[in-house]
Amino acid sequence: MVGSSRFCTHAYGTCQSKNHLYFFMDYLQGGELRNLIVDRAPFTLRMIRFLCAEILCGLRFLHSKGILHRDLKPENILLDAAGHICIADFGLAVTNTSHKKMDVAGTIGYMAPEVMIQEPYSFAADYFSFGVVAYEMAVGKFPFKDDNVPSIVQSVSFDEPTFPRFMNADLKDFLQILLCKDQYTRQRMVQGLEHHPFFTGINWTDMEAGTAKPPFTMEPNPLTDVEDNAEKEVFLSSIEPQLPSPETKDIFHGFSFMSDRWREMKTPAEVT
C-alpha cells in the first residue's frame, strides 16, 4: 500500500528458513532521526522546515490511503545518505479508521491524549506524534515531563509545552497546532498545513518529487563489509537455508513474498 511513496520504507520481499524470518528492505544509510537529534538538536530553522515538510508529505500519503501509523517517533523515521526521510515500522498501523474505538497503541510520550484515555480517535493522532517529533528537533528535548509513565500520561494530557523565548514565531505556532490537546480542533487546524507560514519557501512540487535538496549534510556512514565484522560473519555462517519446520510453517503461512519492484530487478531465471 505504501510502495509508491518515496517517504515510506519499502519491503522488497520476505522469506523464511527453518529458524529465521528474513525481510529484504531499503538500506537507509543515514540511520534513525533519533541519532540526528541526539547529535545535532536543536536544528536550524531551515533543517526543521525541510524535515517537517517531508514528514508531512509522508503522513499525507499514508492518510490518503486510509492508513493510520500510530507509532510515529524519531526511531521510526529513517534517513537516507542525503538526508531524505522514510517513515518506517508499520507494525501498529491500521486502515479504514474514522474516529472509531481502537486499542491503545503506540509509544508512551508520543501517543496523543485521545489515544491514552481510550477515546475513539483517527488521523489527528498521528499529527500529535508529529508535533512531539518536531518539538524535539526544534528544542532538543522532550516537550512534556518524562519522569515515569504516570507523569508522562498526566503531562501529555494536561500540560502545555514551554517554548524558548527567542523561538521563531511561525515555528512556535506550527508546533502549537500539532500539539493541540483536543483532537477535533487539531484535525481542523492541520487541514492545509502546507500553507502555514512556517513552510514559506518550500516548493511542494519538488518536495513531493523528492528532488528538493536537504539544507544540511549527513555524516558519512559507509556500508561495512560483513567480512570485516567477525560477529556478523559468525552469525551469517550459522544460517542454513532450509524449509520451515512442520512446527512453524503454519504459524508463518503466507509470510514469504516477492514485490513487483524486486521482480523487475531480478532475471527470469532468478525469479523462477
Q: pLDDT of 102-128, one tens digit each? A: 889 999 999 999 999 889 999 999 999
Residues 200 and 241 in one domain: no
Grid cell digits, residue 110? 508520543
- Same-domain pairing of 197 and 74: yes
Question: Residue 188: which residues within 8 A CB-CB, separation 6 or more?
Answer: none
Of 150, 172, 204, which marks where a domain is finished? 204
The whole-model pTM stands at 0.86
Domain assignment present for 168: yes
Same domain, 161 and 55: yes
Q: Looking at the structure, tell me whether residues 260 and 138 fall in a common domain.
A: no
133/234 same-domain check: no
131 and 161 assigned to the same domain: yes
User: Are 97 and 148 within one domain?
Assistant: yes
Question: In the prediction, which pLDDT does 232 show?
Answer: 47
- 100: which residues sit within 8 A by CB, 6+ positions away? 120, 122
CA dihedral 78, 79, 84, 89 (to 10 degrees): -20
Answer whether residue 214 is part of any domain: no
Quote the CA–CA distance of 93 and 113 in Å, as a whole number: 18
Mean pLDDT (10-residue bins), the chain, 272 residues: 90 82 88 96 97 98 95 97 95 78 89 93 96 98 91 93 96 98 97 97 96 92 53 48 64 83 68 51
Residue 10 lies in a domain: no
User: Are residues 68 and 147 located together in one domain of the fold?
Assistant: yes
Residue 210 domain flag: no
Q: Which of 204, 232, 251 is the last residue of a domain?
A: 204
Tell me if residue 173 is catalytic.
Answer: no
- Residue 192 sits in a domain whose CATH number is 1.10.510.10
- What is d(CA 85, CA 99) in angstroms, rounded to the nearest whole number? 28
Give, rounded to a whole angstrom, the gap between the first and last alpha carbons of the chain: 25
Domain range for 129 is 31-204
The span from the CA of 111 to the CA of 146, in Å, is 13
Domain count, the chain: 2
* Residue matched to cell numbers 537529534: 37
Query: DSSP strand E in the chain: where?
Result: 11-16, 21-25, 31-32, 67-68, 77-79, 85-87, 94-95, 257-258
Whether residue 14 lies inside any domain: the answer is no
Q: Which of 71, 89, 159, 225 is catalytic?
A: 71
Q: Are residues 198 and 229 in the same domain?
A: no
